[in-house]
């Protein structure tokens, strides 16, 4: 089957992102999001695609958040905007080590 070998010949793996956590990991440790992936797979096992999408939505969202960190990025952006706003108003001054001024080292 030449079509299936195309990914290997080109050196790409289209579905690697989904299976990344289940692959064998270095030093025999589980992947960072393996627990979330396992919960999602266990929830949807034997339900069928339509029912699994409806009933396993929280597990899927947790797994995707662990993989992509989108909610974390939005939260961090909000925190930085609030810090910049406080700096502009003069209500906050960052510590010296945040300004790049470190204490002299011996």
The per-residue pLDDT for 16 is 56
Please compute the mean of the pLDDT values over residues 61-79 and round it to a whole number: 94
Q: Which of 53, 22, 50, 17 is nearest to 38 (CA)?
A: 22
Kindly indicate the confidence band of residue 78, based on its pLDDT and cuts at 50, 70 and 90.
Answer: very high
pLDDT tens digits, one per residue of 15-68: 555 555 566 666 667 777 888 988 988 998 888 888 988 999 999 999 999 989
Helices 34-44 and 57-68: crossing angle in degrees, nearest 10, is: 160
Per-residue confidence (pLDDT) for residue 94, from 0 to 100: 85
| CA distance linking residue 19 with residue 21, whole number of Å | 6
Q: How distant, in Å, are the alpha carbons of 12, 58, 68, 93, 96 from that of 44? A: 28, 11, 21, 50, 51
Please indicate whether residue 11 or residue 50 has the higher confidence score (pLDDT). 50
């Amino acid at each position: 089957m030449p079509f299936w070998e195309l990914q290997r010949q080109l050196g790409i793996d289209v579905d690697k992102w989904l299976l990344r956590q289940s692959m064998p990991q270095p030093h025999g440790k589980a992947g960072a999001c393996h627990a979330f992936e396992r919960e999602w797979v266990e929830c949807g096992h034997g339900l069928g695609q339509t029912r699994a999408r409806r009933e396993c939505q929280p597990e899927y969202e947790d797994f995707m958040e662990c993989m992509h960190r989108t909610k974390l990025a939005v939260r961090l952006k909000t925190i930085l905007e609030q810090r910049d706003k406080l700096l502009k108003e003069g209500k906050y001054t960052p510590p010296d080590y945040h300004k790049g001024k470190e204490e002299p080292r011996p």
